[in-house]
Structure 1
């Protein structure tokens, strides 16, 4: 399974859904640096940025506004390449993060993180299943792809 845009590949990709993202920060970060009120305010803030290891690129933050995608390149307080480090740095107040809502929601609910710009929609991540060749797909893989696709469809309704 793969999150996000897919690079050119010899693999077959089946898009099965998307997962919501959220922008948030620890209360300690907000107390020290303030809470941004607009996308433009983000330029005065630091982020815990995520680097895609294969491409060696920092992932920009993507928002939806006025019917288009708005890309924001955040200044780094630190750059990480795994989700656990992203979470721990956010909780430590090193910078704001943009991450998967299902992974961060319990920290928002507990008050350990605060949602930033809650009225500005974040572009969700595409979820795809990758496999080598559609013609030679094993029955087990085919059943798995159908099952996980159905799970994402249930979540949409």
Structure 2
């Protein structure tokens, strides 16, 4: 085996911190990966990994070597891609995104990606929780909300319009609130990623400022699918992205409430590791995803306009 292949195996193990997870990602026997790294250590005459029964840590030399390896591998990948036609670029992308985004935006159009780039496969993980790009071996993640400071790069996709909703059954049973003062008599489905928040709040914009109204809540969820279906099941008020809510509003399964108290828009971004040179297959995927999202936003705006016209007739 050449040194270049051993370097790639070392990088995978170092990033995920586990031989078991690395071998799963590489599709290779554990003994083969372990032997590659031992051979690499012998060639450069230094220990790269500190092994124990529970975990694997980089030595100081290993940390330096990993940085150099990443730079070399990125340059080689970029160089290879530069001289290839886009349709001939190959490889695998590891992508992480919320399940609703995958269902509404990505999966209905994924065949068009394979038509353009038949040799770029995708490993898709649907998760609302923040991913560790390096440790989880992820190329990019799609996340909603404001992002904190980090060494990662965030490429804006769009701003998600949010609609205040209840199910038709909930509206019939409890009525529709006409003002924020009426919220004291209603229940809110509380969405929280870490399930640690103590107080459920209804968010809305008034006079260009964010206002928070504390509400009663009997249910807290940390998943976008659960949030939508809890609302459809009549368990309370939800503040749903228009992309998710619009089909159910059109069928009368959901009802919009408090249109004069709009929730703040939610920024949607593609997040990827800071690199001097982004692999060509990743830059192609991000551009394609931007195109898909723009088209979905336009379609949704048209649907919303038609719904409002029908409601006024």
The 1:153/1:101 distance shift into structure 2, 3 A limit, reads closer
The 1:85/1:151 distance shift into structure 2, 3 A limit, reads closer
Secondary structure at the residue paired with 1:48?
strand
After alignment, is 62-71 or 91-100 more displaced? 62-71
Where do residues 35-46 of structure 1 align in structure 2 (5 Å cutoff)? 35-46=176-187
In structure 1, what is the equivalent of residue 166 of structure 2? Answer: 25
Higher relative contact order (CA 8 A, sep 6+): 1
CA deviation map 1:73-92 (0-9, x unaligned): 43212111112222222122
For 2:267 and 2:218, the matched residues in 1 are separated by: 26
For 2:282 and 2:159, the matched residues in 1 are separated by: 20
Unaligned 5+ residue runs, structure 1? Answer: none
Where do residues 126-137 of structure 1 align in structure 2 (5 Å cutoff)? 126-137=267-278
**Structure with more of its chain in helix, by fraction:** 2
- Cα deviation for residue 147 of structure 1 reads 3.4
For 2:277 and 2:229, the matched residues in 1 are separated by: 42
The 1:129/1:65 distance shift into structure 2, 3 A limit, reads same
TM-score normalised by length of structure 2:
0.45
Secondary structure at the residue paired with 1:52?
coil
Secondary structure at the residue paired with 1:36?
coil
Secondary structure at the residue paired with 1:144?
helix
Contact 1:49/1:74 (<8 A) preserved: no
After alignment, is 16-25 or 71-80 more displaced? 71-80
CA deviation map 1:85-114 (0-9, x unaligned): 222221221111111111111111111111
Unaligned 5+ residue runs, structure 2? Answer: 1-141, 302-313
For 1:146 and 1:95, the matched residues in 2 are separated by: 37
For 1:92 and 1:151, the matched residues in 2 are separated by: 30
Aligned length: 156
1:75 aligns with 2:216: yes
After alignment, is 59-68 or 9-18 more displaced? 59-68
- Cα deviation for residue 126 of structure 1 reads 0.2
- Cα deviation for residue 62 of structure 1 reads 2.7
Secondary structure at the residue paired with 1:118?
coil
In structure 2, what is the equivalent of residue 15 of structure 1? Answer: 156
The 1:137/1:3 distance shift into structure 2, 3 A limit, reads same
Higher Cα Rg: structure 1 or 2? Answer: 2
For 2:218 and 2:171, the matched residues in 1 are separated by: 14
1:99 aligns with 2:240: yes
- Cα deviation for residue 138 of structure 1 reads 1.2
Runs of 4 or more off by more than 6 Å in structure 1? none
CA deviation map 1:36-62 (0-9, x unaligned): 111232232101111113x74477443
In structure 2, what is the equivalent of residue 113 of structure 1? Answer: 254
In structure 2, what is the equivalent of residue 90 of structure 1? Answer: 231
In structure 2, what is the equivalent of residue 139 of structure 1? Answer: 280
